[in-house]
Amino acid sequence: MRGASDSFGFVFTGRWIPEKGDSGQVFSSFKYWISDDLGVGVDYRPLVDSVTMTATYRAISEDPFGWRPAMIVGTAEDDFTYKGESVESRSYFFTLSKAMPDVEFCGIVPAPYAGAVWIDEIGEVRPLVGLHLRHDFGTMMIQYSGTDTHLTVSRAINDNTSLSAIYWGMKYPGLGIRMRF
């Protein structure tokens, strides 16, 4: 539930995945979008009392009528599974993404992305790939975060709030919320 914003202001995201360990079970993020391209904020994990910084920058905007993809870079403290163990680590990422409205099928617009992530605790660069499917009714995203595959299905409640069903690591179900202020 991260990415470049389409408006200035505050964005709150929360996630509850009851079967995960304390570090990943309850997560919240409060980010301020200084511009359409730059967001900075804090992530909070209340069960382990961890507060960390997060930042996202859209270095290149997507050309909606041409071939140019968006390039997004950022950093956050995230949960990863590595060699069967849960790892909380600072990560640094970049992605290239492109909506493909010319490929629309049954009102669904695909937007693939690919990139890389450096995970401090693992000490290596890992691939990032995903596919975001947008429809007027909602969205679905399948992503590989460098160590885990996740599935998220979201539905906008209104212009500022969306709810999500999460299947983290294709193993743990959970819920998410995103609110813009």
What total of structural domains would you count in the chain? 1
Kind and range of the H or E run holding 22: helix 22-25
Decide if 57 is inside a domain. yes
In a domain, 33, yes or no: yes
**pTM of the entire predicted model:** 0.89
Give domain status of residue 4, yes or no. Answer: no
What is the biggest distance separating any 2 CA atoms in the chain, rounded to whole angstroms? 46
Average pLDDT along the chain: 93
**Which pLDDT belongs to residue 77?**
93
For residue 51, what is the domain's CATH number?
2.40.160
- For 103, list phi and psi in degrees, rounded to 5: -100, 5
| Residue 1, domain member (yes or no) | no
Residue 3 pLDDT level (bands cut at 50, 70, 90): very low
Query: Is 3 part of a structural domain of the chain?
Result: no
- Chain mean position to CA 26: 16
Residue 2 lies in a domain: no
Local confidence band at 85 (pLDDT 50, 70, 90 cut-offs): confident
The amino acid sitting at 79 is D
Domain for residue 110, yes or no?
yes
Domain hosting residue 93, numbered range: 9-180
